[in-house]
């Protein structure tokens, strides 16, 4: 086969395949012309292979990357951030009739599931998606995706509290520790502290602070891996950007 033939041949046709530039444009990467330019400049890979103009892919199965960042081409997949209010249970539908996550998702047409949980008394960032593979990786402890929390406790705090938590404390189900700890603010007899950990055990943040003598009066999750709560209002959801979704895939090594 001549060199020219090798450099212009298309990927093996598959059922449901579409031209790569069309798939990229539908995923929000840019216009078709801009996507063609990305392919021409060898900045796009499909299933680990450098893509070529004329390639066709199945958006439901192809692993597409631009400059090494994952692009989700399957338009059926949904990725949402939600600010769970206090008092809402982290289930889609509660058998006891309590306010649940589905009560805030009237405008979401696809059926989505929450990634992990926050107890009813806690609030803040939850991720919701119908991408089961990504959800599993985000929740599995082997991937070590960090989560950040802002907590209110009784103040003032002695300096050794953070050192104790980062060194590790013994809980009834084994030792646990935080990755980072800092005092954000102190107001009268109340202190705000921020801590980050990759543990996923039930009530782990409350139990850690209880163990060092500072029970939590308010707990807000402010980040999951690269995704931050920001100024999203309580009870609201927003769709993650392409860059945020790519960052989540990167966080789990995909």
Question: What residue has token string 């050192």?
Answer: 163
Residue 28 backbone phi and psi in degrees, to 5: 90, 15
User: In whole angstroms, what is the distance from residue 77 CA to residue 60 CA?
Assistant: 9
Q: 3-state DSSP call for residue 1?
A: coil
Catalytic residue list: 119
Q: 3-state DSSP call for residue 142?
A: helix
* Distances in whole angstroms, Cα of residue 37 to Cα of each of 13, 58, 248: 22, 20, 26
What are the residues whose beta carbons fall under 8 Å from the beta carbon of 163, sequence distance 6 or more? none
DSSP string, 53-106: TT-EE-TTT--EEETTEEE---TT--EEEEEEPTT-BSSSS-TT---BGGGG-T
> Within a 10 A sphere around the Cβ of 118, how many other Cβ atoms?
21
In terms of Cα–Cα distance, which of 205, 206, 204, 215 is closest to 154?
215
User: In whole angstroms, what is the distance from residue 132 CA to residue 30 CA?
Assistant: 27
In terms of Cα–Cα distance, which of 2, 104, 20, 121 is closest to 62?
20
User: In whole angstroms, what is the distance from residue 149 CA to residue 194 CA?
Assistant: 6
User: In whole angstroms, what is the distance from residue 210 CA to residue 188 CA?
Assistant: 20
């Amino acid at each position: 086969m001549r060199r020219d033939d090798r450099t212009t041949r298309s990927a093996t046709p598959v059922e449901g395949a579409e031209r790569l530039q069309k798939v990229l444009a539908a995923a929000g990467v840019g216009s078709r012309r801009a996507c063609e330019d990305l392919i021409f400049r060898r900045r796009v890979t499909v299933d680990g292979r450098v893509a070529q103009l004329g390639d066709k892919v199945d958006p439901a199965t192809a692993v597409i990357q631009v400059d090494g960042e994952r692009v989700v081409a399957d338009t059926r997949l949904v990725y949402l951030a939600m600010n769970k209010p206090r008092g809402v249970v982290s289930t889609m539908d509660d058998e006891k009739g309590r306010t649940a996550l589905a009560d805030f998702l009237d405008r979401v047409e696809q059926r989505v599931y929450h990634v992990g949980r926050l107890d009813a008394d806690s609030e803040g960032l939850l991720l919701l998606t119908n991408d089961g593979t990504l959800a599993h990786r985000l929740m599995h402890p082997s991937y070590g995706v960090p989560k950040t929390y802002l907590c209110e406790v009784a103040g003032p705090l002695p300096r050794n509290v953070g050192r104790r938590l980062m060194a590790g404390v013994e809980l009834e189900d084994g030792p646990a520790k935080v990755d980072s700890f800092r005092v954000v603010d102190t107001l009268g007899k109340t202190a705000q502290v921020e801590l980050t950990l990759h543990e996923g055990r039930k009530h782990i943040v409350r139990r850690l602070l209880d163990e060092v003598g500072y029970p939590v009066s308010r707990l807000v999750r402010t980040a999951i891996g690269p995704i931050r709560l920001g100024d999203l209002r309580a009870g609201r959801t927003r769709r993650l950007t392409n860059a945020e979704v790519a960052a989540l895939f990167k966080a789990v090594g995909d």
